[in-house]
Amino acid sequence: MKAAVSRAQTKGSTRASRAVKKTVGRYNADPDMLIQILLDLQTTLGWLSPGVLADVSEQLGVPVSRVYHIASFYKAFSLVPRGRHIIKVCMGTACQVRGAPQLVNVIASMLNMKPGETSEDRRFTLETVNCLGCCAMGPVIAVDGVYHSKPTTEDLRSIFKGAR
Ligand code: FES
């Protein structure tokens, strides 16, 4: 983690602080509900900032090291900001043999970003996953949970254009 963390990050933004308070309250500040609380906050805020983790630690009375451990252990949590739209490109075997590597390269080039990155305007996050569970449709991508089978470059342009 960078040494220079802004005050907003260390203390949590107002919106994030409100979300933490509300979420922790919903579970009666029960430390046993730590994972569920973090899941809810991930859904609400899109990522878990250092400030959010500190607020959760304080409000649950759980050491911040434990909160960090949980938040960094599970893939469901993101400790960096994510885009408003999540693009998942399947890189599972069935999709690989049907052109997933070329597809991810086309997408990365269109959006000028690499897998694992979030665009500067926080519009998109590009991720690769191991299987989206619909191997016969491959290569397949999911944008905000909507699956697209064998998308052409034209399809991709249209999908990304529609995602504001
Ligand atoms: S390998 Fe791509 S959906 Fe299963």
If you measure from the C-alpha of residue 130 to the centroid of ligand 1, how many angstroms do you get, rounded to a whole number? 7
* Mutational test site, ligand 1, from 88, 89, 90, max ligand atoms within 8 Å of CB: 90
Same domain, 93 and 156: yes
Report the separation in Å between the CA atom of 4 and the middle of ligand 1, taken as the mean of its atom positions.
Answer: 41
| Shared-domain flag, residues 63 and 118 | no
Residue 16 lies in a domain: yes
Domain that holds residue 90: 85-162
Question: Percent of the chain scored above 90 by pLDDT?
Answer: 82
Residues with CB under 6 A from ligand 1: 90, 92-95, 131-135, 138, 140
CB under 8 Å to 151, separation ≥6 — which residues?
103, 141, 159
In the chain, count of helices (H) and strands (E)? 8, 4
pLDDT at residue 2 greater than cutoff 90? no
Residue that is last in its domain, among 51, 73, 95: 73
Would you say 146 and 108 are in contact if contact means Cβ atoms under 8 Å apart? no
Local confidence band at 12 (pLDDT 50, 70, 90 cut-offs) = low
Same domain, 69 and 98: no
- Rounded Cα distance between 114 and 10, Å, is 28
Q: Give the CATH number for residue 103.
A: 3.40.30.10
Q: Are residues 69 and 90 in the same domain?
A: no
Q: Is residue 78 part of a domain?
A: no
Query: Does the residue 2 lie in any domain?
Result: no
**More confident site: 11 or 123:** 123
pTM beyond 0.85, yes or no: no
For 86-128, write each residue's pLDDT tens digit.
Answer: 999 999 999 999 999 999 999 999 999 999 999 989 899 999 9
The predicted model gives 23-33 an average pLDDT of 98
Q: Indicate if the pLDDT at residue 152 is higher than 60.
A: yes
